């Protein structure tokens, strides 16, 4: 698979990564550790070298699954994980915390669970309004000096925060949502990332499954599926947004591809420093996603998509209100 670089310090990864969150967190269809290990191994066998997880996924168990899976080929892959939350005595997520001592404790826990001596890319999961970003970047800079982390990343951070953090410790990558369904990063984020030489890692590149065409207004999610609480996934919003899925399906037919492949190919065509991280629990969907790297969209194709998208009005927020307040800080 084609390789791409994130940041300016030599972090090279496969053009498509693998988002591990949904393996056992947030989607209502948890895999066993054995099943997750097999799927991650299959992704590696197919050329994926970039795997994304976080301590809060589970919490903790997602990192354990990934650590077990990559042990046989650890030196040939890049691990990204995230800090920024605190947990109660029962191990449940209990709010944001990016104080230096918490970052250090989180790093030690992640290293242990991932069965590694270094974290390749360490993201602040969400900006903590109670901790100056300079203190966060400085702590990660110290971890880099100590050899426990190689590269620093931010997730869902706004432009001023990115600039302030980058001035203390170069940011290799920003992770945020970006897809045919959510194009807000184009306005301010992407120009700044290009200016500073920061890579972009879009999560939910398939619109949390909506862009695949497998979800409609009648779809019922598992009670534990986090999409139940997302305004954009109300049945009314899904019905209103169906025109986008229809549009992608038409383009897919013309290109002899699937809607998911068109959505991923479109992202890959935006900039050479963009690395989407679709996730799945199914081997055939993994193969489908990876097939996007073989889909070529010409400049004429991209222009046609742009014109068509300008006529589609997306309805529904991408987060409930209490989570929306945590992004673009």
328: left (phi > 0), else alpha (psi -120 to 50), else beta? left
What does the alpha-carbon distance between residue 70 and residue 75 come to, in Å, rounded to a whole number? 9
Read out DSSP for 43-102? HHHTT--EEE--TTTTTTHHHHHHHHHHGGGGGGSEEEEEE-EEE-TTS-EEEE---HHH
pTM over 0.95: yes
pLDDT for 28 equals: 81
Residue of 45, 83, 87 lying closest to 63 (CA atoms): 83
pLDDT for 29 equals: 81
The sheet carrying 199-203 orders its strands as 18-19, 50-52, 78-83, 119-124, 149-155, 171-177, 199-203
Query: Which tokens go with 133?
Result: 């970003």
List the pLDDT tens digit at each of the 329 positions of the chain: 999 999 999 999 999 999 999 999 998 889 999 999 999 999 999 999 999 999 999 999 999 999 999 999 999 999 999 999 999 998 999 999 999 999 999 999 999 999 999 999 999 999 999 999 999 999 999 999 999 999 999 999 999 999 999 999 999 999 999 999 999 999 999 999 999 999 999 999 999 999 999 999 999 999 999 999 999 999 999 999 999 999 999 999 999 999 999 999 999 999 999 999 999 999 999 999 999 999 999 999 999 999 988 988 999 999 888 888 899 89
For the chain, first and last CA: distance in Å?
Answer: 35
Annotated catalytic residue: which of 57, 85, 123, 178?
57
Work out the burial of residue 294: count CB atoms within 10 Å of its CB; fewer than 13 is exposed, 13-18 middle, 19 or more buried: exposed
85 catalytic residue (yes or no):
no
Which residue segments constitute the domains of the chain, with CATH numbers given?
Answer: 3-324 (3.20.20.100)
């Amino acid at each position: 698979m084609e390789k791409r670089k994130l940041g300016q310090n030599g972090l090279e990864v496969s053009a498509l990564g693998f988002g591990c969150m949904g393996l056992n967190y947030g989607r209502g269809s948890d895999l066993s550790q054995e099943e997750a290990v097999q799927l991650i191994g299959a992704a590696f066998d197919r050329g994926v070298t970039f795997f994304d997880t976080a301590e809060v996924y589970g919490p903790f168990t997602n990192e354990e699954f990934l650590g077990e899976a990559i042990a046989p080929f650890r030196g040939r892959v890049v691990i990204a994980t995230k800090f920024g939350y605190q947990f109660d005595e029962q191990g449940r997520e209990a709010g944001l915390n990016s104080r230096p001592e918490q970052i250090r404790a989180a790093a030690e826990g992640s290293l242990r669970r991932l069965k590694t001596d270094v974290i390749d890319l360490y993201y602040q999961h969400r900006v903590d309004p109670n901790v100056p970003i300079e203190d966060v970047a400085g702590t990660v800079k110290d971890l880099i000096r100590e050899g426990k982390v190689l590269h620093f990343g931010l997730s869902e951070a706004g432009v001023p925060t990115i600039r302030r953090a980058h001035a203390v410790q170069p940011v290799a990558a920003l992770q945020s949502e970006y897809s045919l369904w959510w194009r807000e990063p184009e306005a301010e984020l992407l120009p700044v990332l290009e200016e500073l030489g920061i890579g972009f890692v879009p999560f939910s590149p398939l619109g949390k499954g909506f862009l695949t065409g497998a979800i409609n207004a009648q779809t019922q999610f598992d009670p534990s599926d986090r999409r139940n609480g997302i305004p954009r996934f109300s049945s009314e919003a899904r019905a209103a947004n169906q025109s986008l899925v229809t549009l992608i399906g038409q383009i897919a037919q013309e290109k002899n591809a699937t809607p998911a492949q068109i959505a991923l190919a479109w992202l890959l065509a935006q900039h050479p420093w963009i690395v989407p991280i679709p996730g799945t629990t199914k081997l055939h969907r993994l193969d489908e996603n990876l097939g996007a790297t073989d889909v070529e969209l010409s400049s004429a194709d991209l222009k046609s998509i742009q014109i068509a998208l300008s006529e589609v009005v997306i309805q529904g927020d991408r987060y409930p209100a209490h989570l929306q307040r945590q992004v673009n800080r």
